[in-house]
Amino acid sequence: MRRVFRAKTVTRAVVLGAAVAALVAATGVAPAGASGPRELRKDVVTDVSDVFLIGREAGMRWETYGGGTSVGTEVTANRRDFEDHHFTWELIDVQPGADWMIRHLASEKCVRVASTDLKARATLQECASGDDNQRFRFENDPATVRGTDRPNWPHDDNAGIMIKPVGDLSKALTLENHGDSTWTFLELNRAVASTSQLWRVIPNAVPPSA
């Protein structure tokens, strides 16, 4: 049986400067910058061209890519260093418009859930397109969601499953469906006329440092 994952709406406000940290801490959402380089708050929010970065603390960055095909987080002290894909995830369109697989680029392994039970765990396993537990369906998927801000990491409201990659400064990575130190995959594209899709992974439990 295929699992249908629903995206929940994110309430969002536009703020600048010192209020950014409070917004991220309260809602997990940071304001988008203007096109081109723009720093709203040092080590908290930076928008560099089509790359959206959020820093939880000094030296920490989360990277996202345009195109709607990959999502990622990145830990680096240099905002120009975008070559480390340790925290980068690719959505593989197994069945166009329907099923997706989620592949971790560094390990080349795919997300697999044990079941749709409430406490089911998500792990990284060898990719197998025929494995139903590696195939996910989004109610609001990258091909159809435009001009909205919605969490799109696989979530089944009925089963209560939320798959989250867990990372730290040492670049250790595991997959959890619960926990305090977690990341949430969000779709971000407020520009209706935009031809690309922006994605980001943000911390949903730990606020940025002051």
Give the pLDDT confidence score for residue 129 in this predicted structure: 84
- Kindly list the distances between the CA atom of residue 38 and the CA atoms of 32, 42, 51, 139, in Å, as whole numbers in the listed order: 10, 10, 11, 33
Give the pLDDT confidence score for residue 123 in this predicted structure: 66
Give start and end residues of each alpha helix (H) in 18-171.
19-27
pTM of this prediction?
Answer: 0.38
CA–CA distance, 47 with 32 (Å, rounded to integer): 7
Q: What percent of the chain has pLDDT over 90?
A: 0
Residue given tokens 């699992």 in the structure block: 3
59-68, 101-110, 161-170: segment of lowest average pLDDT: 59-68
pLDDT in tens, 175-204: 444 333 333 333 333 332 322 233 333 333
Segment 66-70 mean pLDDT: 28
Q: Where are the domains of the chain?
A: 3-203
